[in-house]
């Protein structure tokens, strides 16, 4: 991490996001560090005593900074924190696919920018930070399974509309941050040319039910 001397503040803001180099965990750490730095350096002289109170106020700002750095979109949350369902840009072919499966309870789970680590064959997982989940999508039993460090078997509709069976959704904690991890044969989804999954592209993750079975659907946002 950059030195925090008198001349380093602007350099910190310019260099540290690049230092993340596509790593979500590093990006999360950098935002936390930036939040602390900004809290101390950007306050008028004499207001340091109010630091504790100001930090609580600045949590929302830090969250928005986090979303910006990670490429997440903040438009899925209203000003009062309420979650919304926004399916206006659901691709027609995906909508037909869900209808043919008699899918119900279609829910926007998350939106994110893909990082290098998301597409790394050795990593073989898609990470979604828990704090960026836009809407609840699990039932109580599934929540308990994940909290008990068990996995949930899910079927995934790929961007190319092919179905990937025997995928697994788990919850991981890394550097005190919680993530949903889609694992199993994720690398085959990531490398499939017809899915057009590239570093930097924005994707949206949906959930729906076929009877009680949990499905996930992923598509690239235009």
What gap in Å lies between CA 39 and CA 69, rounded to an integer?
18
If you average pLDDT over residues 23-30, what whole number do you get? 61
Of the pLDDT bands very low, low, confident and very high (cuts 50, 70, 90), residue 222 is confident
Correct CATH for 92-220 of 2.60.40.10, 2.40.330.10, 3.30.470.20, 2.40.110.10: 2.40.330.10
Q: Does pLDDT of 101 surpass 50?
A: yes
Q: Does pLDDT of 174 surpass 70?
A: yes
What gap in Å lies between CA 208 and CA 98, rounded to an integer?
8
Q: Which two tokens stand for residue 52?
A: 């504790």
CA 194 distance to own-chain centroid: 23
**Nearest-5° Cα angle at 39, 37 to 43:** 120
**pLDDT at position 21, please?**
58
Task: Assess contact for 17 and 30: CB atoms under 8 A.
Answer: yes
What gap in Å lies between CA 169 and CA 152, rounded to an integer?
5
If you average pLDDT over residues 144-172, what whole number do you get? 95
Task: Assess contact for 172 and 179: CB atoms under 8 A.
Answer: yes
What gap in Å lies between CA 126 and CA 112, rounded to an integer?
10
Cα distances from 178 to residues 30, 40, 203, in angstroms, run: 16, 27, 20
Question: What is the percent of the chain with per-residue pLDDT over 70, rounded to a whole number?
Answer: 61
**pLDDT at position 163, please?**
96
Of the pLDDT bands very low, low, confident and very high (cuts 50, 70, 90), residue 88 is confident
Of the pLDDT bands very low, low, confident and very high (cuts 50, 70, 90), residue 102 is very high
Phi/psi for 8 (5° steps) reads -105, -5
Q: What is the DSSP letter of 169?
A: E
- Read off the pTM: 0.64
CATH 2.40.330.10 residue ranges of the chain are 92-220
Per-residue burial over 149-170, b if 16 or more Cβ lie within 10 Å, else e, is eeebebbbbbbeeeebeebbbb
Q: What is the mean pLDDT of the chain?
A: 75
């Amino acid at each position: 991490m950059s030195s925090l001397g008198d001349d380093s503040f602007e350099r910190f803001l310019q260099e540290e996001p690049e230092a993340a180099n596509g790593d979500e965990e590093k990006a999360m750490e950098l935002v936390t560090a930036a939040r602390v730095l900004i809290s101390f350096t950007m306050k008028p002289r004499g207001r340091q005593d109010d630091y504790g109170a100001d930090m609580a106020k600045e949590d929302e700002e830090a969250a928005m900074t986090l979303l910006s750095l990670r490429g997440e979109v903040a438009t899925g949350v209203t000003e009062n924190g309420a979650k919304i369902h926004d399916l206006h840009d659901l691709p027609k072919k995906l909508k037909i696919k869900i209808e043919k499966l008699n899918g119900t309870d279609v829910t926007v789970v998350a939106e994110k920018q893909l990082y290098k680590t998301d597409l790394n064959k050795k990593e073989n997982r898609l990470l979604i930070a828990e704090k960026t989940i836009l809407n609840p999508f699990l039932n109580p039993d599934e929540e308990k399974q994940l909290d008990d460090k068990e996995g949930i078997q899910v079927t995934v509709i790929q961007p190319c509309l092919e179905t990937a069976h025997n995928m697994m959704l788990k919850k991981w904690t890394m550097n005190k941050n919680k993530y949903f991890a889609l694992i199993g044969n994720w690398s085959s989804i990531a490398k499939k040319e017809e899915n057009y999954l590239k570093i930097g592209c924005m994707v949206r993750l949906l959930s729906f039910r076929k009877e009680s079975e949990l499905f996930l659907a992923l598509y690239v946002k235009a």
